[in-house]
Amino acid sequence: MEYNVAKYPEGYEKIKKEELPFLPDDEDTREFFMNDLLQWLIQW
């Protein structure tokens, strides 16, 4: 099912919870990854 990623918090949370299978199922780790990813996206 396609959805709009660029919505906060809906799209952000869906990415964090459903699109990162390579990360452990741990809220802190996933939130840290998303924070880094957000910075990377605006930086580069």
Partner 1 sequence: MNTEELRKERIQLFKDAIQMGKKPQRIPYFGNIWSWKIIDAGYKLSEALYDYEVTEKVLRHVFENYKIDVLSETGWRNPVQVTSVMGNDEYIINDTANSISIKDQCFMEADEYDELIDNPKKFLWEKVVPRKYRLLREEENNSGHFREFLQKYGEFGGFMGKVSKVMNEEYGIPDFADSLAAFDYWGNGYELLFNILRGIKGLSIDMRRDPEKVSAAIEALDETFMAPRLERGKKQPKGTNMDFCVDMNPVMLGHTILSPKQFERFYWPHLKRVSDFAESYDKVVYIFAEGESSRFYEFFQEFPKGHFAIHTEQDDIFELKKRVPNIAVAGGMKSSLLGKGTPQECVDYAKKLIDELGADGGYIFSENKMISFEQDCKAENLKAVSDFVSEYNPY
For partner 1, the binding residues (CB under 8 A) are: 2-9, 11-12, 14-15, 19-20, 22, 32, 35, 37-44
Helices (H), the chain: 10-18, 27-43
The first and second tokens of residue 43, run together, are: 């930086």
The rounded distance, in Å, linking the Cα atoms of 6 and 22 is: 22
Minimum distance from residue 19 beta carbon to partner 1 (Å)? 6
Min dist CB 13 to partner 1, Å, is: 11
Quote the least distance from Cβ 15 to partner 1, whole Å. 7
